[in-house]
Structure 1
Amino acid sequence: MKKHIPLEDGDYYLTPDGYRCFTEQYHLKRGYCCKNGCRHCPYGYDKNKDH
């Protein structure tokens, strides 16, 4: 089971479409790359290069 990480100010913002977009701050707290190609991934993952 994955660890629950409580959300804090600065962990995400809402896009114009109403979706939550997680920031680099949140990804660093989570501690690993999920390999979904997140917009603010601090781990350098590029889903276009991973085939």
Structure 2
Amino acid sequence: MKKFVPIEDGDYYLTPEGYRCFTEQYHLKRGYCCESGCKHCPYGFDKKTNTIKKN
């Protein structure tokens, strides 16, 4: 089971359409890539190739 990460100020913002968009801060706090192609993914996931960019 994945751990629960509480949402704090700066973890997301609302898009003009009303969706929650998680920030890089939240993704790093969560600690893993969900491979959903998130806009602010700090892990470098590419949804087109299904790969995570290695540093």
Q: TM-score per shorter chain, which class? A: over 0.9
Q: Stretches of 4+ moved more than 6 A in 1?
A: none
Higher relative contact order (CA 8 A, sep 6+): 1
Structure with bigger strand share is: 2
2:35 counterpart letter in structure 1: K
Q: What is the aligned-residue RMSD (CA, Å)?
A: 1.2
| Residues in 2 aligned to 1:31 and 1:48: alpha-carbon distance in whole angstroms | 22
Unaligned runs of 5+ in 2: none
Please name the residue that 2:13 is paired with: 13
- TM-score, length of structure 1 as denominator length: 0.93
What does residue 42 of structure 2 align with? 42
Shift of 1:47: 0.6
Query: Using the alignment, how far apart are the partners of 1:10 and 1:44 within structure 2?
Result: 20
Task: State how far apart, in whole Å, the 1-side matches of 2:6 and 2:20 are.
Answer: 14
| 1:31 corresponds to | 31
Identical counterparts, % of pairs: 76
Structure 1 unaligned residues grouped into runs of 5+:
none
How many residues of Structure 1 are paired with residues of Structure 2 in the alignment?
51
